[in-house]
Amino acid sequence: MERMIRFGFIPMILLAAVPACRGTESGRRAGTHPDSGGTAMTKNIRWLGHAGFVIRGSRTVCVDPYRVSTGEPAGLILITHEHGDHCSPDDAAKFTGPGTWIVAPAAAAAKLARLAGNPERVKTVKPGDTLTLDGVEIRAVPAYNLKIPNHSPDKGHVGYVFRLDGVTYYHAGDTDRIPEMRGIRADVAFLPAGGTYTMNAKEAAEAAEDIGPRLAVPMHWGSVVGSEKDALEFKNRFKGEVWIPTLQE
């Protein structure tokens, strides 16, 4: 049990006793939008646009960099799947140094193999796999569509639950609201809300209720699909704390 919780998972039977909590407004971070929200938990998080984020701590973790102007050295790069707006070798290269680990499902790992210099620094994962790299606990979790074929369950696309400096993060990847989410616990949840290829804002807010994070962050909008309107709808619908990220170059 203890190990399951450390990895961000709790048995579904316990979930009914874990309400989505609402944070205070005191830690609000200034954003370009007056209703952007945010808490002290966002100070180490850089949104790269679309589904790309950097989390800075004792290690720097970068997820799905895409159309990034300025990179920074990362200890880990986590790629959710092989589609070009998530697995961009040119953008991943901006975060790759000699000590960088790259984690990705097989189809994406094949595109990124040349980046790390050493093939052993590219770790291939499938849903359900766990690994620890440089002290960061990582679990690859399912990510798939329920009705459209773009991200069908057989493709092995993933989201990631990872624990960095005592905080558990969940980056959902490209996914619909799937039953497995009810077994995921995270302090910070990055959830696609732009619709078309993923959950829309309403579905993402329902997924956030399933997960009950301390902070929910709508993503997958403002670039390929979706707009700030979707992010605001997500914020209006979810009862917990929401941070609408702003681009940081």
The CB density around residue 57, as the number of other CB atoms within 10 Å, is 14
Instruction: Examine residue 209 and tell whether it contacts Zn ion (CB under 5 A).
Output: no
**Which residue has 């569509």 as its token pair?**
145
For Zn ion (CB under 5 A), the number of binding residues is 2
Q: Which stretch binds Zn ion (CB under 5 A): 61-69, 97-105, 133-141, 167-175?
A: 167-175
Q: Which stretch binds Zn ion (CB under 5 A): 27-35, 95-103, 170-178, 238-246?
A: 170-178
Report the residue from 8, 10, 65, 83 that binds Zn ion according to the rule CB under 5 A: 83
Radius of gyration from C-alpha coordinates of the chain: 16
DSSP symbols for 117-141: SSGGGEEE--TT-EEEETTEEEEEE
Q: Least distance in Å: CB of 208 to Zn ion?
A: 20
Q: Which stretch binds Zn ion (CB under 5 A): 22-30, 98-106, 141-149, 169-177?
A: 169-177
Task: Strands of the chain (E only): list them.
Answer: 45-49, 52-56, 60-63, 76-78, 101-104, 122-124, 130-133, 136-142, 158-164, 167-171, 188-192, 215-219
Residue whose beta carbon is closest to Zn ion: 83
Report the residue from 64, 174, 209, 233 that binds Zn ion according to the rule CB under 5 A: 174
Among residues 140, 50, 71, the alpha carbon closest in space to that of 104 is found at 140
Which of 174, 230 has the CB closer to Zn ion? 174
Q: Least distance in Å: CB of 84 to Zn ion?
A: 9
Q: Which stretch binds Zn ion (CB under 5 A): 13-21, 82-90, 96-104, 225-233?
A: 82-90
**Is residue 3 a contact partner of residue 10, using CB atoms and an 8 Å limit?**
no
Write out the two tokens for 192. 């696609």
Residues engaged in binding Zn ion (CB under 5 A) = 83, 174
